[in-house]
Amino acid sequence: MHVWKAQQLWWRLAIVIVCVVGLASGAQPLMFFTTQSNLIVAAYFAIAIWWMIVHRTTKAPAPRFRGGVTLWIVTTGLVAHVILNHGQSPFPRLADSSSTGSLATWSLFLLHYAVPIMVLIDWALFGPRGLVRLRDQLVWMLYPIVYGTLALVRGALFPDVSSRFNYPFFDFATLGLAGTVIALARVLAIIAVLAGGVIALDRMAEFVARRLRSGHVDNSIRGRPIAATVVA
């Protein structure tokens, strides 16, 4: 297949465009996980598009790192929906054109919902598959752990800074030490489960693709003459 005709290329280009529009239309500071994870997504898929064109392939580069990118952006979406939006649907706010900050609302929708869903679809539908390992979970977890550690240090050293606590589970001034530890442990446990889910989805996609390929081969063999089948 010619790479310019590959749906993988155009889907990944769409991811980059949606990501850039979401970042450019909002005012999310760099210290937020939302901003960082979306910047990582935009950079990775921009490089992936370049890689696909140069190497004339439909496969994305660095599949194990791609798994981490998928985990981080899905974490962004889940935290935003469950913790920040309290599980409420984002669509009523989008439909209310009279609400103040409608552009910012659309920006957050793109960064919190559209991009995570698009990246997850890319992970499920497009290869390469079957290259991530269970130990990759530990590597993927390093970024959220380092991010959380730096966020806590920032909040402790600079109490008067704007947006002292990026997310509610970092607010040790309100939660207390024990409450913060419990809240962070829950978040890390959820991320660990998500990491396992990312790997499981990869395994499932690989299994389905293998079954489809084997079924195609079987059908091709059944349609060939007996003599040709024996010779093959």
Type of residue numbered 120: L
Give the pLDDT of the chain (232 residues) as one tens digit per residue: 588 999 999 999 999 999 999 999 988 889 999 999 999 999 999 999 999 999 999 999 999 999 999 999 999 999 999 998 999 999 888 877 555 568 888 999 999 999 999 999 999 999 898 999 999 999 999 999 999 999 999 999 998 888 889 899 999 999 999 999 999 999 999 999 999 999 999 999 999 988 888 876 555 555 555 444 433 3
pLDDT at site 229: 40
DSSP secondary structure string for all residues of 71-133 = HHHHHHHHHIIIIISTT--SHHHHH-TTSTTHHHHHHHHIIIIIHHHHHHHHHHHSS--S---
Q: Is residue 75 within 8 Å of 140, Cβ to Cβ?
A: no
Q: Which long-range contacts (CB under 8 A, 24 or more apart) does 127-131 make?
A: 127/58, 127/59, 127/60, 127/63, 127/209, 128/59, 128/60, 128/63, 129/63, 129/202, 129/205, 129/206, 129/209, 130/202, 130/203, 130/206, 131/63, 131/64
Nearest to 126 by CA among 205, 15, 196: 205
Question: How many C-beta atoms surround the C-beta of residue 227 within 10 A?
Answer: 8
The reported pTM is 0.89
Q: Is residue 36 within 8 Å of 114, Cβ to Cβ?
A: no
pLDDT at site 226: 43
| CA atoms in the 13 A half-sphere facing the CB of 226 | 0
- Strand, coil or helix: what is 210? helix
Query: Structure tokens of 92?
Result: 């009523």
- Strand, coil or helix: what is 52? helix
What is the Cα gyration radius of the chain? Answer: 21
pLDDT at site 72: 98
pLDDT at site 117: 98
Q: How many domains in the chain?
A: 1
Range of the structural domain that residue 98 is part of: 3-231
